[in-house]
Chains A and B, each alone.
Chain A
Amino acid sequence: MEIDPFIFRLSIFILSIFIGYYVVWSVTPSLHTPLMSVTNAISSVIIVGAIIAALAGASESIFNTSSIFGFIAIILAAINIFGGFLVTQRMLQMYKKKKDKKK
């Protein structure tokens, strides 16, 4: 009997939860704020769904109800992607050791 592809995706999902569990526990507490901003940025990979929805409009007209939702979602996710990664970068730049304190 064939295995439903859903089961494979579920396996990936469950295993990723475990990976997340171990990886996040190893994050140093002083970097918890950057952790939140970077998880924010990566969860915006939801933009792939938005792009599919937006491009699907092309068959009839560029803007139909479904693709408009896609386009708005692109803006929202893009704000998050750029904002999330850049603000994380800005924060991480500030973490310095004692030695390189001299500018």
Chain B
Amino acid sequence: MISANLAAIFYLVSGILFILALRGLSSPDTSRQGNYFGIAGMIIAIVVTFLSIGNFSTSLVYVIIFLVIGGAIGAFIAFKIPMTAMPELVAGFHSLVGLAAVFVAIAAFLNPAAFNLGNVGDIKLASLIEMSIGAAVGAITFSGSIIAFLKLRGIMSGAPIVFSGQHILNLVLGISIFVLIFYLCKTQSTNIFWTVIIISFLVGVLLIIPIGGADMPVVISMLNSYSGWAAAGIGFTLENTALIITGALVGSSGAILSYIMCKAMNRSFVSVILGGFGADNSTDDKKEKKDQKPVKSGNAEDAAFLMKNASSVIIVPGYGMAVAQAQHALREMVDKLKKNDIKVTYAIHPVAGRMPGHMNVLLAEANVPYDEVFELEDINNDFANSDVAFVIGANDVTNPVAKTDPKSPIFGMPVLDVEKCKSVLFVKRSLSPGYAGIDNELFYKDNTLMLFADAKKMTEDIVKNLD
């Protein structure tokens, strides 16, 4: 058994190791080392907890058994999961953090003596507030992440679910949580505590259902942030430095990512949260307009010819590439091009895919070296000097309308200047508008050649034609 002071110092050490873990991610070279720091921090925190309780009875055996069961499930998932499923995996993991926070808060509420928080019915006021906030945020994180998971997995439609009075209902529920916590502090009533948790579960669901599929990068980042604040709330209850530091780190990390994603879509955080964006409303008249405009379409042979005669090609991947699992075929194509001394780079829009950095991971999986992959601001000037832009599975992020038409819903969103390339190859299954529900002007430009096919199949065909 070690003293509380010594334990606190070890918790501080593990908090610092967690900071270093995030710090390592500033470059891929240091990132692996960073991950080891994180693992070390976690081991220290767990071992110190065992030592500071100093209870080596049979229940310890059970703790270890449960730890191993959870660990085995986690390891199994980590090794089996395909990289394209990363967004739903992360959403699923968020839900577990949220639920764990709720359960720890419940355990603390039912047995406060074990945590030095007073006795049942007489819990210290500050602790009671902290644990109910931790439980409420945890519950919102849990149910919200479950909805996000179902939407990303395709079990639930990605379309926003909106009904009248939705925002007022959310507001009422939100206020009632605070009112209930206030009464909980006065009465210490178990029933009120359960009610707070149940309402929070409901809020989590209501918060995420109106948000559409392509806003998922914001949702995932936001839930990431919530899981951090929930952990911090529990950290205050347990008076545990490691948990407080981690909660703050994760909370601010998620908040920053949400900010970056919102900025990349030129939308305010509030408008994303209020949801309803991308609901099908005006597609009919768009379709009529489309029929009148001429579109040049080509096949794999044309595409291969264009690229073979180019000296530089920029690839613009998007969510469609992930859906079609086309990243490996794409790499094969690029290898062939490189053999012909064609310079190939990748341009990635911050919101391409369903979560921050989604495209980068997929390209890395396909063995694309990370120094060939560039972010929007680093590569956008290169389009004007390049011969071919190969757009695969991206749509709205290439739409020039964002720069020209102030009436467009995506006006002001930073987009890739794909149209400045000498020619544009656009792989897409049909002319249907993208997620934002608007037509892409790029389709009708003179220098655009549409390749109507599944992204993977088209890429494979191009590979064949490059020989």
Contacts and interface: CB of A to CB of B under 8 A. Distances in A.
Contacts of A95: 28, 31, 364, 370
B63 A71 contact: yes
B369 A82 contact: no
Interface stretch (B32-40, B266-274, B283-291): B32-40
B249 A66 contact: no
B153 to A, nearest CB: 16
A90 B114 CA distance: 38
B126 interface: yes
A53 B114 contact: yes
Contacts of B104: 46, 49-50, 53, 69-70, 73
Interface string B82-108: 010010011001101101110110111
Contacts of A32: 257, 355-357, 360
Contacts, number: 379
Instruction: Using C-beta atoms within 8 Å of the partner chain, give the interface range for chain B.
Output: 35 or more
The SS class assigned to the A binding surface is helix
Contact of A27 (B22, B107, B355): B22
Given A92-B31, A95-B364, A19 B369 contact: no
A83 B93 contact: yes
Given A55-B55, A94-B364, A96-B369, A36 B221 contact: yes
Contact of B107 (A5, A23, A38, A67): A67
B249 A16 contact: yes
Contacts of A5: 239
A70 B106 CA distance: 9
A27 B247 CA distance: 18
A75 B372 CA distance: 40
B231 interface: yes
B74 A79 contact: yes
The SS class assigned to the B binding surface is helix
B421 interface: no
Interface in A22-78: 23-58, 62, 64-67, 69-78
Interface stretch (B65-73, B204-212, B386-394): B65-73
| Best-surrounded residue of B38, B115, B355 (most CB of chain A within 10 A) | B38
Interface string B362-386: 0011010111110100000000000
A86 B1 CA distance: 31
Contacts of A90: 78-79
Contacts of B251: 17, 20
Interface of B: 14-15, 18-19, 21-23, 25-28, 31-32, 34-35, 38-39, 41-42, 45-46, 49-50, 53, 55, 57-60, 62-63, 66-75, 77-79, 81, 83, 86, 89-90, 93-94, 96-97, 99-101, 103-104, 106-108, 110-111, 113-115, 126, 220-221, 224, 227-228, 231-232, 234-254, 256-257, 260, 348, 350, 355-358, 360-361, 364-365, 367, 369-373, 375
9 contacts: A16-B19, A20-B248, A38-B22, A43-B231, A67-B111, A69-B103, A82-B70, A94-B361, A95-B370
Given A57-B59, A73-B100, 4 more contacts: A13-B232, A16-B248, A43-B231, A83-B89
